[in-house]
Each structure stands twice: as C-alpha cells, then as structure tokens.
Amino acid sequence: MSSIKDFTLACPVPISDYPTVTLAHGGGGKLMHQLIERMILPAFQSPLLEARHDGAVFDLGGARLAFTTDSYVVNPLFFPGGDIGSLAINGTVNDLSMCGAKPMYLSCGLILEEGLPMETLWAVVQSLKQAAEAAGVQLVTGDTKVVDRGKGDEVFINTAGVGLIEHGLTIAPSSVKPGDVVLVSGDVGRHGIAIMATRQGLEFESKIESDCAPLNHAVQALLAAKLDVHCLRDLTRGGLGTTLIEIAEATNQQILIEETKIPVRDDVSGACEVLGFDPLYLANEGRMIIFVPEAEAGKTLEVLQHSPYTEGAAVIGRVTGDKGGVVKMKSRIGTTRIIDMLSGEQLPRIC
Amino acid sequence: MSSIKDFTLACPVPISDYPTVTLAHGGGGKLMHQLIERMILPAFQSPLLEARHDGAVFDLGGARLAFTTDSYVVNPLFFPGGDIGSLAINGTVNDLSMCGAKPMYLSCGLILEEGLPMETLWAVVQSLKQAAEAAGVQLVTGDTKVVDRGKGDEVFINTAGVGLIEHGLTIAPSSVKPGDVVLVSGDVGRHGIAIMATRQGLEFESKIESDCAPLNHAVQALLAAKLDVHCLRDLTRGGLGTTLIEIAEATNQQILIEETKIPVRDDVSGACEVLGFDPLYLANEGRMIIFVPEAEAGKTLEVLQHSPYTEGAAVIGRVTGDKGGVVKMKSRIGTTRIIDMLSGEQLPRIC
C-alpha cells in the first residue's frame, strides 16, 4: 500500500519552520521559491525544469516546441477587466509567448464545486471560448471533475498549452547579456488593484480594470521585425519586482531600473497609497518585460507601441554588466536601493 | 467589467432540471456526457474535440503529436496500490498511450489547501517522481497554487502531457470496424474497490489493490509487433461498461461482449456483491480495451500477456457489424441484454 510513510524520510524543507503549507507558499515570493527550489526541482531534476523559464522548450519529432501549464484559483471569479476564464487562456498563451513560441493548442481541466450554479459555469465556459478566439488558439482537450461542497471554491481551472517555435533565437534568461536594455510592455499593477477592489468592495473615482490580455500578437510582431529578443517574462504573481529578481538571480547579472520610468497609472498609484501596496509587487496578467541589445531598444519600443496590448511600453532600465544577481532601483529622489522579494504575495489567490 | 450577466443569455443545459452542478456531473456517466455535449463541445467547436478521444492528435511543425490533460481529486490521497501522485502520472501517460502516442513530457499543476502537512506534500511529490520514472516520462513544467483552508481538499493535481506518434495508424474510435475483436488488458474493478474500501474503512479477507499502472509499455509493444491496432481506450471513470458504450456511440456500431469472459477477481466480485456494485461500471486506472481485426486477436493477446501490467488480458467480445451504437452483453445464463450508462458514477472522486 502506498502511504505517506513510504516517502517521508527525507523531506528537505525545514519542517520545524513550516510544518504545513501556508497561503504564502503560493504567493510567488520567497516562500514559494524555497518550496520549488528545495522540494520540487530536486525531485524531478530535469534540465528543462532547471531552466526556470515560464515553460519547457524541447525538440520533438523534428519540431521545436514550448509546453507550459498553470492552474487558476482566482477569487472572485469575475472582476473588472476579466474573469477566471480569460485569465486561464491569457495566462497560458502568455507563458508560451515568453518562450518565444506561437501558442497553438490549449487543454482545459475544470474542477467544479458541487452546488456551483450552472449559469456561472456557462459564463466561465463562454469566457474561455471568447478569450481563446481573441488569442487565436484552439482548446483541443479537456477534463471535468466535481468535488463535494466545501472541498473546492466554485471553479478552479488548469490550462496547459503547446506552442511552436519557428525561429532560431534562444529566448530565455540564459540569453540575457550585459548592456541589454529592459523594457516593460505597459503600466503595471492594475490586475492586483482590480482584484483587491472587487474583493473588498472598494470603489475608486476612476474604474481600475485588470490588464488581463494575450501577449502573443505583440511577441510575434517583435519576431516578425527580426529583433534580437534575448529574454521575455510576464509579470504575474510577485509583479515586476519579483520577476526582475528571478531573471537577475538566474543569470547572476545585476539589473538597474529607474523608478520614474516605470509606467504606473495615477489611479493605481493612488489606490496603492491608500491600501499600503507597492505597485512593484502587484500582479499583472497582460504585462511582460523584454530584454534586447541596446542598439535595438528604439525599434523594439516602436514595434511594441504599435502592437495590441503593449501600446504603453517603456524602457525602464538595463543590465549593468556587474555580477551578483541583484536588482537595484534608482528612486525618484535619486537614491539607489536593492529590490528584494516579498515573503509571500501582497494578495493571495490573485490568479 | 466581466460578469456572469454578460454570458448567461443562452445557457443550453436545462436549468430547470439541474440549476447547479452535482457530483454526478463529474461521475463519468450520463450527466457528465450531457454537460460536455451540450455546454462544452458547442462552445469550442474544434474538430479535435469532436473526435471524443482521450486526447487531441495533431500535426505541428512536422511532428505528429498527442496532447491530453486530466485533473485528479481522488479521495483519499493514499490507497492500496497507489496514491494521487501515481494516479496523476499514469492517468495522463495512459491517455496519451490510448492515442497511440509515446508519452514524452508531462506538466504538473498543484492546488494545495492551506494547512496541508508538508510531509504529505513531500510524499505526493516523491510519488509523482517515482511514477514518472517508472513510465519513462519527464515532468518538465509545473505550477503551484495555494487556496485558503476549507476551499480545497489537501491536494488536487492536474497533469497534461505531450506524446509523439511514430506510426501511420489512426488509433481512434473512427477506425473501429465490423468484425473487430475486443480485448481487455486485465481484470476489472480493483481501483474502484480499493478506493471504496479505504474510504469506508472496510477490510476484506484478501487485500484488494488498485490496478493503477502505466500502459505505455504494453501499447508500444503492440505497435512494435506491427499489429493493426484500430482503437484503444482506458477504463477509468464509468468503467468497462461506459467505455464500451462511448465507443459504440461514437462509431454507431454494435458491440457484443460475453460476461463470462470479462476477468474479475473473486475477491472483487465478492466485494461487489456485499457493497451492491457492478464491476462493469467500477473505475480502473491501469486497464484498457483494444480493438483489432479478428485475424490479429491471437497475436495481440500474446503480446499483451507478455507485457508489463497486461498479463491478464483476455478477448471479451466483438463488433457485430450491426448498426445502432449499442453494447449488448451475453450473460452467464445465456440471455443477452443492452448495457446502459449509469447516470453518475457509483463512487464520486474516484480519480
């Protein structure tokens, strides 16, 4: 018989510190990274996992493919600018895009809670359909499970996706080079504030909608323009700050960004001040950072500004050439500080 | 703002009958089929989904691939003969195998409940690792989410998988032909009884272990023997009975099976009598049916009997050549009756 006892001799996570899973272990911050680094990566030991990318890239049957997955447990299911259905499609479309792949086929696994109104399920399915059409991907295989009332939370969705890589670039942290310019594809923090405001019943003067959007069209435009894209990463759990640190650590490079160049809408800044959040760590669902050689920064910006969902792109910093795997930020008042990961997320269940 | 109201005008499932999702909607029986046929397939309208196979088969970048997904919500997590980890690997390995593909790369999405003992997570991760090694597949990409206490149930796992098809056969319901012989790869019903016994704290004289196992090695052996395999289907939710009906309906063929030829262990039969279950509908996690031309039935049986996990294979029936999409069973006493799908499953959360 398989039982817990068969496996528990060598659990490497310091059980004395965290004998049970906490919400912060899913928050995209330090604790989640520790869990993955100490428990999950050592168990599977695949070079594809070691790449610490948004998806796995491999050759299969002569094709160069990307493959990725994400589960979605966002609460609430519907929020300004999106819902769990559009999130589940765009999240996986974007992870494939970050590998430089053209997203082609998606799977969809639904975990439904007994008692879920059939109308809610219908609305989620319609949203999945519309988001898949907008991104130009096909949902080709799926699964439906139902759990007892009180053992789930309305709807959880997993999507996995397969994409095709049709160019010779290696778009990955390993390609980041000293001197690279860092661009962000638009204003940051809206998804986090939209979720928070809905959850807490807050109202702001202007309506803050999630940035939830597919980024494949913009990435394909960069590739069509023959730009030498070194690395792409979307800014989901943990936000811009955590994502930059992940890249810096994976490459042992130092990244320097300028606070004044990071696009943040005034209403998002205002909401952050009221709520005590830092937009640097707020989750986004339609934003990415782009690493390109300095000589191509201008053309990259131009392509992005003419592509859907990336019109607000901006250059925010560069890879300094110093070693050390740290991210520094030059503040509004001219001081420079090191950016650190948060322990968990500012908000649980953001995606 | 995205909200339920944007989508609810035309929900096709009769809301008057089922205004909410029930456990039976996830049970693999009639209600689940209705939900998928009326709500999900019409929304996505993909020819790949229309094939109603265990996975999607497509050409991409010159490679012929299969792609599939399943979520696992089995309760309890650990049971005789397996656990949620081995189930999650073998289930997806088997779905790819049923498409005639060689399973290559798997993804893994974990949804953890806050408060889950870290030791339990460790045990599940070790089981995933061991099952992946046994099946010869690589886990290459993953995701971890945490939900609040009381909004999940310890661990839910989604796996998706990509497999490579390296032969010219179309292994699918559409290839089933009049005169085909139907084989089953081993005794049926053990997974269902193993779960039920654990859940209810029942003890039988002999220990009934789940049949949970990877079927890719046996399928690759059939292909290596150049057998003209027409269709493969694993016998999960809904069991042998429901699976046969799915194939009969998808092909509009009539299938006739003989009750006395279906391998059922005596202890499983005994448990079924005590518990009021029918082994025909009990879930299996390492069993499949195989459709081959009559002339190849003997060699197919021989290959299976010499392959791992299919030593107990047997011929159980044939495709009669009559139209009608029904399954008939010749009983022990010589009468013939039509086999119907159950409404839900005999047991919820079996996988």
| Whether B61 and A166 lie within 8 Å, measured CB to CB | yes
Cβ atoms of residues B98 and B65 within 8 Å:
no
Q: Is A275 helix (H, G, I), strand (E, B) or coil?
A: helix
- Of A280 and B39, more confident: A280
Among B54, B118, B130, B349, the strongest candidate for a mutation testing the A interface, having the largest count of A CBs within 10 A, is B118
Q: Taking CB atoms and an 8 Å cutoff, what residues of chain A touch B13? A: 118, 122
Residues within 8 A of B (CB atoms), A 21-40 only: 21-27, 32, 35-36, 39-40
Residue of A nearest to B210 (CA): A1
Q: Please provide the DSSP assignment of A216-254 as one string.
A: HHHHHHHHHTT----EEEE--TTHHHHHHHHHHHHHTEE
Q: Taking CB atoms and an 8 Å cutoff, what residues of chain B touch A164? A: 60-61
What are the pLDDT digits (tens) for A3-53? Answer: 665 554 556 655 557 889 999 898 888 888 888 888 888 888 777 776 777
| Whether B148 and A23 lie within 8 Å, measured CB to CB | yes
Query: CA angle, corner A104, sides to A234 and A132, nearest 5?
Result: 75
Q: Phi-psi region for residue B21, left (φ > 0), alpha (ψ -120 to 50) or beta?
A: beta
| Whether A71 and B160 lie within 8 Å, measured CB to CB | no
Among B145, B164, B190, B234, the strongest candidate for a mutation testing the A interface, having the largest count of A CBs within 10 A, is B145
Cβ atoms of residues A308 and A211 within 8 Å:
no
Q: Taking CB atoms and an 8 Å cutoff, what residues of chain A touch B79? A: 1-2
| Whether A43 and B158 lie within 8 Å, measured CB to CB | no
| Whether B69 and A158 lie within 8 Å, measured CB to CB | yes
- At A348 the pLDDT is 82
Instruction: Give the residue among A329, A105, A289 at the shortest CA–CA distance from B46.
Output: A105
Assign a CATH topology to domain B173-339. Answer: Phosphoribosyl-aminoimidazole Synthetase; Chain A, domain 2 (3.90.650)
| Whether A48 and B138 lie within 8 Å, measured CB to CB | yes
Is B120 an interface residue toward A (CB < 8 Å)? yes
- Of A247 and A32, more confident: A247
Q: Taking CB atoms and an 8 Å cutoff, what residues of chain B touch A140? A: 46, 48-49, 56, 58, 67
Structure tokens at A148: 């007892």
Q: Distance of alpha carbon B290 from its chain centroid, rounded?
A: 13
The neighbour count for residue B206, using CB atoms within 10 Å, is 11
Evaluate if residue A273 carries a pLDDT over 70. Answer: yes
Is B338 an interface residue toward A (CB < 8 Å)? no
Is B43 an interface residue toward A (CB < 8 Å)? yes
Residue of B nearest to A151 (CA): B152
Is A86 an interface residue toward B (CB < 8 Å)? yes
| Whether A60 and B162 lie within 8 Å, measured CB to CB | yes
- Of B26 and A222, more confident: A222
Question: How far apart (Å, rounded) are the C-alpha atoms in residues A277 and A350?
Answer: 14
Q: Distance of alpha carbon A276 from its chain centroid, rounded?
A: 22
Mean pLDDT calculated for residue range A135-162: 97
| Whether A348 and B146 lie within 8 Å, measured CB to CB | yes
Residue of A nearest to B194 (CA): A1
Q: Taking CB atoms and an 8 Å cutoff, what residues of chain A touch B164? A: 60-61
Q: What is the mean pLDDT of each run of 10 residues along chain B (351 residues)?
A: 56 69 87 87 80 87 97 96 98 98 98 96 96 97 95 98 97 96 98 92 85 98 98 95 95 97 96 92 97 98 97 98 96 95 79 92
What are the pLDDT digits (tens) for A293-343? Answer: 999 999 999 999 999 999 999 999 999 999 999 999 999 999 999 999 887
Peptide bond into A173 cis (omega under 30): no
Which pTM does this prediction carry?
Answer: 0.94
| Whether B146 and A27 lie within 8 Å, measured CB to CB | yes
Instruction: Give the residue among B182, B217, B212 at the shortest CA–CA distance from B314.
Output: B182
Backbone angles phi, psi at A25, to 5 degrees: -65, -15
Q: Which residue in the block uniquely carries the two structure tokens 């009326």?
A: B38
Q: Is B76 helix (H, G, I), strand (E, B) or coil?
A: coil
Is B146 an interface residue toward A (CB < 8 Å)? yes
Evaluate if residue A103 carries a pLDDT over 70. Answer: yes
Q: Taking CB atoms and an 8 Å cutoff, what residues of chain A touch B151? A: 152-153
Q: Please provide the DSSP assignment of B231-271 as one string.
A: EEEE--TTHHHHHHHHHHHHHTEEEEEEGGGS---HHHHHH
Question: How far apart (Å, rounded) are the C-alpha atoms in residues B296 and B324?
Answer: 25
Distances in Å between the Cα of A20 and the Cα atoms of A204, B180, B268, B282 are 37, 53, 37, 34
Residues within 8 A of B (CB atoms), A 273-302 only: none
Residue of B nearest to A118 (CA): B20
Q: Taking CB atoms and an 8 Å cutoff, what residues of chain B touch A22? A: 114, 146
| Whether B21 and A166 lie within 8 Å, measured CB to CB | no
Q: Which residue in the block uniquely carries the two structure tokens 């790819």?
A: B96
Is A162 an interface residue toward B (CB < 8 Å)? yes
Question: How far apart (Å, rounded) are the C-alpha atoms in residues B157 and B90?
Answer: 12
- At B12 the pLDDT is 63
Q: Taking CB atoms and an 8 Å cutoff, what residues of chain A touch B15? A: 118-119
| Whether B46 and A138 lie within 8 Å, measured CB to CB | yes
CB pairs under 8 A between A and B: 341
Question: How far apart (Å, rounded) are the C-alpha atoms in residues A289 and A299?
Answer: 15
Instruction: Give the residue among B14, B64, B69, B7 at the shortest CA–CA distance from B37.
Output: B14
Q: Is B50 helix (H, G, I), strand (E, B) or coil?
A: helix
| CATH architecture for the domain at A55-166 | 2-Layer Sandwich (3.30)
| Sign of torsion over alpha carbons B282, B287, B292, B294 | negative
Question: How far apart (Å, rounded) are the C-alpha atoms in residues A55 and A70?
Answer: 10
Q: Distance of alpha carbon A99 from its chain centroid, rounded?
A: 12
Question: How far apart (Å, rounded) are the C-alpha atoms in residues B175 and B234?
Answer: 16
Is A125 an interface residue toward B (CB < 8 Å)? yes
Cβ atoms of residues B349 and B75 within 8 Å:
yes
Q: Is A349 helix (H, G, I), strand (E, B) or coil?
A: coil
Q: Which among A2, A107, A111 has CB closest to B73?
A: A111
Sheet with A63-72, side-by-side order of all strands: A56-60, A63-72, A155-164, A102-113, A138-147
| Whether B67 and A138 lie within 8 Å, measured CB to CB | no
For A94-215, strand residue ranges (E) read 102-113, 138-147, 155-164, 181-184
Q: Please provide the DSSP assignment of B80-146 as one string.
A: TTEEHHHHHHHHHHHHHHHTT-EEEEEEEEEEEETT-BHHHHHHHHHHHHHHHHHHT-EEEEEEEEE
Sheet with B231-234, side-by-side order of all strands: B231-234, B288-292, B181-184, B314-323, B253-258, B327-330, B336-339
Is A116 an interface residue toward B (CB < 8 Å)? yes
The neighbour count for residue B169, using CB atoms within 10 Å, is 14
Distances in Å between the Cα of A308 and the Cα atoms of A137, A167, A185, A221, A228 are 16, 22, 10, 10, 20
Is B113 an interface residue toward A (CB < 8 Å)? yes
Helix axes A190-200, A266-275, angle to 10 degrees: 50
Is A114 an interface residue toward B (CB < 8 Å)? yes
Mean pLDDT calculated for residue range A223-252: 96
| Whether A2 and B164 lie within 8 Å, measured CB to CB | no
Would you state the torsion angle of the CA atoms of residues A144, B273, B257, B335, taken in this order, to the nearest 10 degrees? -130
The neighbour count for residue B221, using CB atoms within 10 Å, is 16
| Domain coordinates in residue numbering, chain A | 55-166, 173-339
- At A2 the pLDDT is 56
Instruction: Give how far A92 is from chain B: nearest CA, Å.
Output: 11
